[in-house]
Homo-oligomer: A and B are copies of this chain.
Amino acid sequence: MKASKATMTDVARRAGVSAATVARVLYNNGYVKEETRIAVKSAVEATGYRPNMVARGLRTSRSYTLGLVVSESRLNAFHPAVAHFVQMEALRQGYTVLTLNNNADSDMEAAGVRRFLDHHVDAVIFCSARDPRNVRIIAQNGIPTVQVERHIAHVGAVVTVDAHDGMREAVDHLYGLGHRRFAFIGGDVDSSNMEGNLDDAIEAVRERLFRENLARHGIDVPAANMLRAVYYDDSKPVRQPGYHLMRRLLALPERPTAVIFGSDLLAASGLQAISEAGLSVPNDISIIGYDDSMAEILTPALTSIAQPIGELGRLAVTMALAAIENSENAEPAISTVTRLVIRESTATVPNEGSE
């Protein structure tokens, strides 16, 4: 019951033409008499012919596959979400995606990237490369790269997210609710794996925007309230990256009443520390996540600064395909925006005397 492994020659024979003609009608190249076109089409139907992408790839040196590297896609739901949209869009555009989760391990990533090269992927999308060298290896082989959200290597195309709007909305939202004591738990900037200016790292930018927006309201945040969580420890993802830092905040003499986190995962683990301390969100403390990756299934459902996940995935594919078409063209950058999604983890500041 093996379905046809019908080859192009099979189709050609059946239609009484040559393989070249079959190719012509399949890809609308050159002129074909209407009559033979019909004959070929029906032969294709009859045989259930499907092009062999491997043979095609060898001949055209286009594999119609994209490589996708995601990082830490187990606890952090952001990356699998982006991956999903990349896969959907690629499918729609006639591509297939080779996916690899680097799990925060540079060596793993290097091995995977090498493998992508062996399979002659047409482009590689990184939704957070772990090591800039791995991006460069691809680029050096003349293959387009697209870095999504976080770009740690200064090569190829990038799809960035402008954090301004979301952070402004978040700060204004909290300020409007009466909060005056703020804290921020962001991600650590991994200087060893970042090319160029560390201040351009997205984690650093988010911190800065947080401060700037509060400064607008005349609020200065003490250094003790600005913390950075390590997501990876010795190439292993940290399971509850926000837990200990949140405990530290809770132990502060002037406990903050509002905390913005650098990811929903960070907020989720912060929530554990808050609950453990016998405090409640949002009654005692308001918190805001980032990403909007798992905000809606936490308790309470998190107010979160949403990244445009679907757009990121789709744009990454679009840019990859554009780079494949005319690789000599400039390496473009495109930016998307964030917005605040308000749910149940933010409320009016608790009464001062109640402590």
Chain A residues with a Cβ under 8 A of chain B: 1-3, 5, 50-55, 57-58, 63-65, 73-75, 77, 79-81, 83-84, 87-88, 91, 96-101, 103, 108, 111-112, 114-120, 137, 140-142, 239-240, 265, 268-269, 271-272, 274-275, 294, 296-301
Q: For the complex, give the distance between the alpha carbons of A140 and B5 in Å.
A: 11
CB A8 to nearest CB in B, in angstroms, measures 13
Q: For the complex, give the distance between the alpha carbons of A100 and B86 in Å.
A: 10
Q: For the complex, give the distance between the alpha carbons of A117 and B274 in Å.
A: 50
B299 pairs with A275, CB closer than 8 A? yes
Q: For the complex, give the distance between the alpha carbons of A55 and B54 in Å.
A: 8
Q: For the complex, give the distance between the alpha carbons of A198 and B278 in Å.
A: 45
Q: For the complex, give the distance between the alpha carbons of A230 and B297 in Å.
A: 16
**A65-B300 CB under 8 A given contacts A77-B74, A88-B108, A98-B98:** no
CB A332 to nearest CB in B, in angstroms, measures 20
A101 pairs with B75, CB closer than 8 A? no
CB A285 to nearest CB in B, in angstroms, measures 13
Question: A58 contacts which of B54, B74, B140, B294 (Cβ < 8 Å)?
Answer: B54
Q: For the complex, give the distance between the alpha carbons of A299 and B83 in Å.
A: 27
A53 pairs with B118, CB closer than 8 A? yes
A75 pairs with B299, CB closer than 8 A? no
B80 pairs with A74, CB closer than 8 A? yes
Q: For the complex, give the distance between the alpha carbons of A82 and B153 in Å.
A: 29
9 nearest interchain CB pairs?
A: A99-B99, A80-B80, A54-B57, A84-B101, A2-B142, A268-B297, A271-B299, A275-B299, A53-B118
Question: A84 contacts which of B1, B74, B81 (Cβ < 8 Å)?
Answer: B74
Question: A298 contacts which of B5, B137, B268 (Cβ < 8 Å)?
Answer: B268
A75 pairs with B77, CB closer than 8 A? yes
